[in-house]
C-alpha cells in the first residue's frame, strides 16, 4: 500500500485496501475488514472506479454478514449486484447474489433468499459459474 501512496495512485491504494479487508473478513476478523473496506470505498467514490466500488461493497457486505448484521449485508450486496450488472459483469453479480440469498435466509426472509438464489442459479448456469450446485442445493433446502 505504501507503494500506491508514494506513487499517488488512489485507485491502486483502494484495491489494496479492499484486498486487505477481504482477507481480514475471510480470516474471521470483520471489524478490521470493515475499517479497511470503508477506506477503500471512500477512495473508489473519489476515483469513480465502479468495479472497485462494487467489489468493495461485496466485501463490506460479507463483513456485516459475519457480524450478524444481515440487514446491512443485504443493502451492500444489493448495491454491489446492481453496480456489477450496470457494468456488464454478470459473473460477479451471480456470485454476490448467492451471498445475498444467504443474508436474506439468515435474516429470516426465505422468499427474498429464494428470489436471489433463483437469479444466481439462472445467471450462474448461463455463465458456467462453479457455485451453481451450491445454489441449487440451497433452493432445494427451501422446499
Cell, residue 55: 467489489
3-state secondary structure (DSSP) of residue 22: helix
The pLDDT mean for the chain works out to 94
pLDDT above 70 for 3: no
Q: Number of structural domains, the chain?
A: 1
**CATH code, domain with 114:** 1.25.40.10
What range does the domain containing 101 cover? 2-142
- CB 50, CB 87: distance < 8 Å: yes
pLDDT of residue 11: 86
For residue 47, pLDDT over 90 is answered with: yes
Give the mean pLDDT of 36-41.
98
pLDDT digit string (tens) for 60-119? 999 999 999 999 999 999 999 999 999 999 999 999 999 999 999 999 999 999 999 999
The C-alpha atoms of residue 96 and residue 92 are separated, in whole angstroms, by 6
Is there a contact between 93 and 116 (Cβ–Cβ < 8 Å)? no
How do residues 56-69 score in pLDDT, each as one tens digit? 999 999 999 999 99
Amino acid at each position: 500500500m505504501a507503494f500506491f501512496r508514494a506513487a499517488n495512485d488512489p485507485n491502486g491504494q483502494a484495491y489494496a485496501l479492499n484486498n486487505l479487508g477481504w482477507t481480514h473478513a475471510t480470516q474471521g476478523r470483520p471489524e478490521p475488514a470493515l475499517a479497511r473496506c470503508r477506506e477503500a470505498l471512500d477512495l473508489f467514490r473519489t476515483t469513480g472506479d465502479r468495479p472497485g466500488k462494487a467489489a468493495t461493497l461485496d466485501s463490506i457486505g460479507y463483513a456485516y454478514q459475519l457480524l450478524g448484521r444481515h440487514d446491512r449485508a443485504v443493502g451492500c450486496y444489493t448495491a454491489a449486484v446492481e453496480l456489477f450488472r450496470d457494468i456488464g459483469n454478470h459473473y460477479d453479480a451471480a456470485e454476490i447474489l448467492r451471498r445475498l440469498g444467504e443474508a436474506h435466509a439468515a435474516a429470516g426472509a426465505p422468499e427474498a433468499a429464494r428470489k436471489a438464489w433463483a437469479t444466481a442459479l439462472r445467471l450462474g448456469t448461463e455463465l458456467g459459474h462453479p457455485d451453481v450446485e451450491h445454489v441449487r442445493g440451497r433452493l432445494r433446502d427451501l422446499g
